[in-house]
Structure 1
Amino acid sequence: MKFDNKNVLLVLQVGTLGGAERQALGLGKFLVNNKNCNVDILFVVSNNRTKEFNDFFNTTGIKNVFYFGFPHVVLRRELSIKNLKRLKWSIQYFLLLKKELNKNKYDVVVPFLNTPSKISYYLYKLLPTVKYTFWHQLGLDFLKKDIYESIAINNMPCIIGNADNCFDIFKNEYVVKNKVFNLLPQYLTLKKENRNSDIIKEKYNINKEDIVFGMIAHFKSFKYHDLALKVFARLAKETEKVHLILLGNKDNDEICLEIYNNLSESIDKMNISDKVTLLSNEDVTDVLNVLDIGILLSLIEGTPNVVMEYMLYALPVISSNHPGCIGLLQDSKFLVNNTEEEVFQAMYKLAANEILRESEGARNAKRIKKYDIETYVNKLETILTNSFE
């Protein structure tokens, strides 16, 4: 299967610019510009879009954005009035999708994350022109284990994950043939842009001579900003001229805001506000241009975009040793367990040794070159060809 001249529907949850959404928009842009595709988007959870999402979207050439209300595509294994209502709602939703989308004659439906994947299976069955789709498992996502999901997963010709551990969730919950699993790490969505680091440091009140650590990640419970902060506070007592940036988006939801506020309170209590810059909804490229060391500590990951971006900027990376991170960083000595001592030792070694920082960064910059959009699309085309033809 080749994407050339195809009508493509991207299925997303919401219009925030997380890793999955950045992958989707970047793919859409490439398909429009390089494959002469007509590309649309279907939102299946909410039609709300952040400024960051819209800024990226406006560069892509993607034509239409659809949203047909919240999808009640859940059917429990129970006999109840509520479940009968769910059946009614889901049938109404499917019929609406078929009515509104059939006229666009999509050839390929590309989902991002599990709820869009479930919807995509039924689009594959409902829309006669759709010949290709797949289940797309990315990072930390969960299964609802309902009847619709079970039907979709057990009949989907192709499941794609961006790291080996993405398949564990299926193997634990469903009996799925091994041949449908396909490993496809995502591509690097960001283009490197060199900016004046002195100006940016002045903007964020960072001393020019400081060694700057940074963790760029959503303020979510499975991202360990608090661990990075706690270990950095210990480092700052032992090492002069270090600084930490924590960047996320507090406005995604109430949980993000709560985590952001808790971090702010912790910084004040630790009396390190002059050593830590807590940012929300700031320019990622600005932050990448002032970092000396990238950090990602978390409960679980697929193949994290931010680690790829650290590598693009030739940074040494301290990362939790998840399979997707190992796939990127390979034999790095700075893949760590999420313990204070291991993280501290990694921070201390890199802060103390400029030559080590440069050598690690150079290796990472070399490794990341193979994660480009052209290679990704070629591999996706091969997987779909082998799965459907």
Structure 2
Amino acid sequence: MAKTRVVVVDDSALVRSLLSEIINRQVDMQCVGAASDPFVAREMIRNTNPDVITLDVEMPRMDGIDFLGKLMRLRPTPVVMVSTLTERGADVTLRALELGAVDFVAKPKIGVADGLKQLAEEITDKIRIAAKAQLKRLAVPVAGPAAGHASPGDAAAPQRPAVTHSLGRLSTEKIVFIGASTGGTEATKEVLVQLPPDSPAVMITQHMPPGFTKSYAARLDSLCRIRVAEARDGERVLPGHAYIAPGGMHMSVERSGANYIARVQAGEPVNRHMPSVEVLFKSAARVVGPNALGIMLTGMGADGAKAMREMRDAGSYNFAQDEASCVVFGMPREAIAHGAVHEVLPLTQIAGKLIERLRSTVGASMNRV
């Protein structure tokens, strides 16, 4: 069996040594080089032709983001970013995902050696996923100037598409539920930036560790016409808002009188994940029923597939991202295999079809649960 060839790029000799050891302990992968900075890495990559690169976010001489941008333009290669659990680390990591990195691993600021050893399974799992991932830049269609509440002069922010027409009479009963994992940060953005300000509420579970979802929500909020924030336990779920499950917490929806509320709680991982799509989608089936719309985006594994079938059985209308536009097709494939999906669509078409579906039902009479 051919081994996955990995190059490690990190300015820390300790981290290079630990990552090399973790990789070489696996029967299906091999560390073929470890570089202390992007200049050394450039020659090493040229000589070893790796299948996957692990890349430190912050390094001297040339930072990981600059190097990643050059790499994805000149020699596209699957990259797993190694990030520090800091606010700056989170912001830079999100930029790396925009540039085409497949995924990231968050290393602790202190106790790095023990921390990386504990993350060994996650690191090697993400290298395996990256080796099979479809590399792509998820470009947002550009049609006219950005029109939301992004900061002027935000050079990293792509312009949004022309304003989508209002949905008209809005039902506050409708809620959109999105599940995503590997590749999902950009895929979710592609859907949300196209939604009009009077969109129904959107609840999103994206597999992401603690410390990153707050920055991710803020980034989306700067780009979208709807408001986007990390969900808080007990808050009312409102139209025109999107709620991101906080890293390390499960999110679900509950009913409180005439209102929907977000429930954010710690617990045990479900399908190895916390937050888990299964938890969110099960609550959608139980609480929202026929007023739910489900979207399964790119991601590894099967988290949420069974619960999405429960949503369909309860009357929801469900979409899945197609294989060609996924970074990893696992979660959509499993949802389709469970008979949970009504329409399988390229990523760029999902928001439009969602809006069409909402328009077709927005005037219908809907009873409160």
The TM-score with structure 2 as length reference comes to 0.31
The structure, 1 or 2, with the larger RCO (C-alpha pairs under 8 Å, 6+ apart) is 1
Higher strand share: 2
Highest Rg: 1 or 2?
1
The TM-score with structure 1 as length reference comes to 0.30
